[in-house]
Amino acid sequence: ETAEEEMAEEEQPGEQTEAEEITINVYYSDQMAEYLIPESKIIASENKYVDALYELMKKPIDSSLTPLVPDTAIINSVTIEEGNAMVDFSQEFLDDRFASDTVDRLLVGSIGNTLTQFTGINSVTLYIDGEKLDNLGGLDIKEPVFSQNDLIKNN
């Protein structure tokens, strides 16, 4: 086997290669909990949906912004079916969130807006440990959540 053949083999798709990086927006709450504000993050494209959600739990670069998804939450799974992302969180997602009707709207919006920017995702449905979440506080989320541009404040 020549060195040339070896090199050709290494470039075959499906081999372990460096995961491509992509830049996405993740959405945090502004100081007044009125709007979502996007922040650019770089994530690996391999598990991009899960990585994007984990970014939502991290501290924003801009310290005036607030993460909405509690960092104690565990992402059990993200399944895409016919354009809908079914996101299954652990119970901590509910228990440790900042519970208020306004913040709940932003929380759902931050997840919806973050995930629907990916090609192939049009809406998001939330689950807690495998059970579909129909209400978050006073918010009815029986129907899939689409991106909510009215919540976004562009700086």
pLDDT of residue 155: 56
The model's pLDDT over 92-139, given as tens digits with 9 standing for 90+, comes to 999 999 989 999 999 999 999 999 999 999 999 999 999 999 999 999
- On whether the CB atoms of residues 112 and 127 are closer than 8 A, the answer is no
Q: How confident is the model at residue 145 (pLDDT cuts 50, 70, 90)?
A: very high
Q: What is the pTM of this model?
A: 0.86
Structure tokens at 34: 């009125």
Query: End-to-end alpha-carbon separation of the chain, Å?
Result: 57
What are residue 130's phi and psi, to 5 degrees? 90, -10
